[in-house]
Structure 1
Amino acid sequence: MIEPGHPNLSIGQQCKLLSIARSSFYYTPKGETEQNLGLMRRIDEQFLETPFFGFRQMTWHLRNDGHLVNEKRIRRLMRLMGLMPIYQKPNTSRPAKGHKTYPFLLRGLRVDRPNQVWCADITYLPMRRGFLYLVAIMDWHTRKVLSWRISNTLEAEFCVEALNEAIHKFGPPEIMNTDQGSQFMSFAWTDRLRRSGVRISPLGRFAVQIACRAMDGWERSLPRQHLYREAVAHPEIRVRLPACLGDRIRDEGGHREMDDLLQPSAPTLSPRRQAPGAGLLAEK
Structure 2
Amino acid sequence: MAERRTRRSFTREFKAQAVKRLLDGGKGLSEVATELGIGTGQLSQWRTEHLAAGSAEALAARKADQAETQRLKREVKRLEEEVEILRKAAAFFQGGRVTKFAFVSAERANHAVATLCRVAGASVSGFYAWLRAIPAVQTRAEAEVELRGQIGRIFTARRRVYGSPRVHAELCRGGLRHSRRRVERLMREMGLSALRGRRRTPRTTDSRHELPIASNLLARTFTAERPDQVWLADISYIPTGEGFLYLAAIKDMATREIVGWSMADHLKSELCIGALVMAIQRHRPPPGLVHHGDRGVQYASEPYRAVLERHCITQSMSRRGNCLDNAPMESFFASLKTEHVHQVSYRTREEARTAVFEYIEVFHNRQRLHSGVGYRTPAEARASMEGITMRSAA
- Secondary structure of 2:278's counterpart equals helix
The answer for the alignment partner of 1:214 in structure 2 is 328
The answer for the alignment partner of 2:377 in structure 1 is 280
The percent identity for this pair of structures is: 26
> What residue identity is the alignment partner of 2:331?
G
- Secondary structure of 1:115's counterpart equals coil
CA 1:172–1:256 in 2, change beyond 3 Å: closer, same or farther? closer
1:159 counterpart = 2:272: yes
Structure-to-structure mapping, 1:127-138, within 5 angstroms: 127-138=240-251
CA 1:171–1:279 in 2, change beyond 3 Å: closer, same or farther? closer
List gaps (5 residues or longer) in structure 2.
1-159, 168-183, 383-394
1:100 counterpart = 2:197: no
In angstroms, what is the RMSD of aligned CA positions? 3.8
- Per the TM alignment, residue 86 of structure 1 is displaced from its structure 2 partner at its CA by 2.1
1:200 counterpart = 2:309: no
Check whether the contact 2:370–2:377 (CA below 8 A) recurs between aligned residues.
Answer: no
1:188 counterpart = 2:285: no
More helix by share: 2
Structure-to-structure mapping, 1:109-148, within 5 angstroms: 111-148=224-261
Give CA-to-partner distance per residue, 1:40-70, whole Å, 9 cap, x none.
xxxxxxxxxxxxx9xx97xx9996643399x
Find the aligned partners of 2:222 and 2:354 in 1 and give their Cα distance. 37
Check whether the contact 2:250–2:275 (CA below 8 A) recurs between aligned residues.
Answer: yes
- Secondary structure of 1:142's counterpart equals coil
Find the aligned partners of 1:119 and 1:158 in 2 and give their Cα distance. 15
CA 1:187–1:215 in 2, change beyond 3 Å: closer, same or farther? same
The answer for the alignment partner of 2:345 in structure 1 is 231
The answer for the alignment partner of 1:248 in structure 2 is 364
CA 1:188–1:224 in 2, change beyond 3 Å: closer, same or farther? farther
Give CA-to-partner distance per residue, 1:9-46, whole Å, 9 cap, x none.
xxxxxxxxxxxxxxxxxxxxxxxxxxxxxxxxxxxxxx
Find the aligned partners of 1:157 and 1:132 in 2 and give their Cα distance. 14
- Per the TM alignment, residue 242 of structure 1 is displaced from its structure 2 partner at its CA by 2.5
- Per the TM alignment, residue 87 of structure 1 is displaced from its structure 2 partner at its CA by 2.1
> What residue identity is the alignment partner of 1:248?
H
Find the aligned partners of 2:305 and 2:321 in 1 and give their Cα distance. 22
Find the aligned partners of 1:201 and 1:259 in 2 and give their Cα distance. 23
Find the aligned partners of 2:352 and 2:321 in 1 and give their Cα distance. 34
Check whether the contact 1:248–1:282 (CA below 8 A) recurs between aligned residues.
Answer: no
CA 1:194–1:185 in 2, change beyond 3 Å: closer, same or farther? same
Give CA-to-partner distance per residue, 1:121-148, whole Å, 9 cap, x none.
1001011232110011111111111121
Find the aligned partners of 2:215 and 2:281 in 1 and give their Cα distance. 26
- Per the TM alignment, residue 109 of structure 1 is displaced from its structure 2 partner at its CA by 8.0
- Per the TM alignment, residue 224 of structure 1 is displaced from its structure 2 partner at its CA by 5.4
CA 1:227–1:206 in 2, change beyond 3 Å: closer, same or farther? closer
- Per the TM alignment, residue 153 of structure 1 is displaced from its structure 2 partner at its CA by 0.7
Normalised TM-score (structure 2): 0.43
List gaps (5 residues or longer) in structure 1.
1-52, 72-83, 261-277
